[in-house]
Amino acid sequence: MLTTFSAQFGETLPEIKGAKVLIACSGGLDSSVLLYLMAQQDCELLVAHCNFKLRGAESDQDQEFVRELAAKYKVGYFEKSFDTKALLEQSGESLQMMARRLRYDWFEQLLQEQQADYLMTAHHADDNLETFLININRASGIKGLCGIPSHSDKLLRPLLSFDRDTIRAYANKEGLAWREDSSNASDAYLRNALRHHVIPALKEQLPDIENQLLQTQTYLQQDLKLLVNFIEQLKDKVWQPTVYGMTIDLAALSEIGAADALLFHLLRDYGFTDWKAIGELKQAQTGKKVYSATHQLLKDREQLLLFKKEISTPDAYFEFEVFSTQELPVALQFKKVSSWSKLANHTIVVDQDRLSSPLILRKWQPGDRFFPLGMQGSKKLSDYFTDQKISGPEKEKIWLLCSGSEIVWVVGYRADDRFKVTKNTKNLLQISCAASSH
């Protein structure tokens, strides 16, 4: 196995030689074998272990085992414990999804802090087959059927071509020790039930199923690349950023064949996976919502609005100086200019001498009024929002840039006429904000 493993690196990833590699190690069979194999490669190794505190003393014993393993191989070691049960109550996610998010967020942090070149996990061919079957049950589309990628950016999974039996036989041959997770014996989890009952039956009838699946998934991954390129070409026709989220034009979407499929591919990266619910939302009344773990999708007339679930408190208030580096909830940029022609979206130019210091960034409040640029007289913000057909959730995300008690800019929407540039203006200030990608 070592010879095959080393040869794969030489062929597919020659740059791994001399690289700094972070290995995710639970202490189980697969990650213990991965660490053993990598210890025989020409790399600088670091080991990372997550303790989710779900199995009492057993979890702590796993942690101690990995700590000793890292010491044995004389490699850097990092560990992180999570109060998983408490975090689960707050997140609204499934246990598996939350644990995955927690560990990969931490791994990403470690990669940056330690300036590591790669992260390795010990996923193998059986994991890939299990994931494939689970994704079929979820009707997850072509991306789900592509399975677990062997590499993506800095994440490598070098054991994907080896099955569990091969890994176990190698570990026994080399006299390696590992920890057994008692929860793996339970059929309460779908993955375990597949592992114990379904996959052995499949392998009995189709002995080469894992290798054939890997080859099929290689073809599917190539098909997916073509599909992604096609989606990117269609995306701009229906999908537009706003300052606080994204909008999907339903009229434009309806002109595209297989609109439901396009909608699903646009939204799946935001945690939406229910084809039926997303498709039904198009025909729903204004105000209907669909939620993912992190985002909400709202039907609003002839469009769908995508927002993060978290909405800032309405009384949020910040004071700051022009050109300061203070962190704000909206990324504002200030630039002195001598002239301008056509302004980009989300950009205004004002008379700097009209501004008082400090500037204020706050949420809108009932009764707020401003003088919309180019109009005579003032207007209630609530009436302006109605005229602009700005939905309730979107209103809650809007910020006001103020000079004293006066509104300078309904950020991302309309400037105030009182701060416009005139023939008497001496100092021009350009203010812009980036459209949100959420």
Look at residue 302 and tell me if it is in a domain: yes
Query: Percent of the chain beyond pLDDT 70?
Result: 96
Structure tokens at 306: 């995508």
Shared domain for 249 and 214, answered yes or no, is: no
Look at residue 236 and tell me if it is in a domain: no
CATH label of the domain that carries residue 334: 3.50.40.10
In the prediction, which pLDDT does 79 show? Answer: 97
Question: 198-237 burial, b if ≥16 CB within 10 A, otherwise e?
Answer: ebeeebeeeeebbeebbeebeebbeebeebeeeeeebeee
Shared domain for 346 and 398, answered yes or no, is: yes
Give residue 95's region: left, alpha or beta (phi > 0; psi -120 to 50). alpha
Shared domain for 284 and 210, answered yes or no, is: no
Burial class of residue 240 in the structure, from the number of CB atoms within 10 Å of its CB (0-12 exposed, 13-18 middle, 19+ buried):
middle
| pLDDT tier at 437, thresholds 50, 70, 90 | very low
Rounded distance, CA 272 to CA 277, Å? 9
**CA 43 vs CA 16, 23, 73, 79, 150: distances in Å:** 7, 11, 12, 21, 19
Could you tell me if 194 and 126 are in contact, meaning their C-beta atoms sit under 8 angstroms apart?
A: no
Rounded distance, CA 258 to CA 266, Å? 13
Look at residue 237 and tell me if it is in a domain: no
In the prediction, which pLDDT does 327 show? Answer: 81
Last residue of a domain, one of 218, 233, 264: 218
Shared domain for 93 and 183, answered yes or no, is: yes
In the prediction, which pLDDT does 243 show? Answer: 62
Q: What is the pLDDT of residues 407-425, one digit of tens each?
A: 999 999 999 999 999 999 9
Q: Share the mean pLDDT of the chain.
A: 88
Shared domain for 302 and 380, answered yes or no, is: no
Angle at 292 between CA 290 and CA 297, to 5 degrees: 40
Shared domain for 301 and 339, answered yes or no, is: no
> Per-residue pLDDT for 311 more than 50?
no
> Per-residue pLDDT for 238 more than 50?
yes
Q: How crowded is residue 280: how many other Cβ atoms within 10 Å of its Cβ?
A: 14
The amino acid at residue 212 is Q
> Per-residue pLDDT for 14 more than 80?
no
Q: What is the pLDDT of residues 47-68, one digit of tens each?
A: 999 999 988 899 999 999 999 9
Shared domain for 255 and 401, answered yes or no, is: no
Structural domain range at position 407: 317-433
Q: How crowded is residue 357: how many other Cβ atoms within 10 Å of its Cβ?
A: 10
Cis peptide bond prior to 358, omega within 30° of 0:
yes
Shared domain for 56 and 199, answered yes or no, is: yes
DSSP-derived secondary structure for 166-223? HHHHHHHHHT------GGGG-TTSHHHHIIIIIHHHHHHH-TTHHHHHHHHHHHHHHH
Structure tokens at 128: 């890939």
Higher pLDDT, 123 or 375: 123
Look at residue 127 and tell me if it is in a domain: yes
Shared domain for 249 and 207, answered yes or no, is: no
Rounded distance, CA 45 to CA 21, Å? 5
In the prediction, which pLDDT does 328 show? Answer: 84
Please compute the mean of the pLDDT values over residues 316-343 and round it to a whole number. Answer: 84
Lowest-confidence range among 210-219, 397-406, 429-438? Answer: 429-438
Q: What is the pLDDT of residues 66-106, one digit of tens each?
A: 999 999 999 999 999 998 888 888 777 788 888 999 999 99
Look at residue 223 and tell me if it is in a domain: no
Q: What's the pTM?
A: 0.62
Residues 6+ apart with CB under 8 A from 141: 261, 264, 265, 268, 275
Last residue of a domain, one of 255, 275, 308: 308
Structure tokens at 99: 């644990």
Residues 6+ apart with CB under 8 A from 86: none
Could you tell me if 31 and 23 are in contact, meaning their C-beta atoms sit under 8 angstroms apart?
A: yes
Please compute the mean of the pLDDT values over residues 269-282 and round it to a whole number. Answer: 84
The dihedral sign for the CA sequence 408, 413, 414, 420: positive
| Structural domain count of the chain | 3
Size of the chain in residues: 438
> Per-residue pLDDT for 129 more than 90?
yes
Lowest-confidence range among 12-16, 37-41, 434-438? Answer: 434-438
Rounded distance, CA 198 to CA 194, Å? 5
In the prediction, which pLDDT does 370 show? Answer: 96
DSSP helix, strand, coil percent of the chain (3-state; round to 5): 45, 20, 35
Rounded distance, CA 359 to CA 324, Å? 11
Shared domain for 259 and 135, answered yes or no, is: no
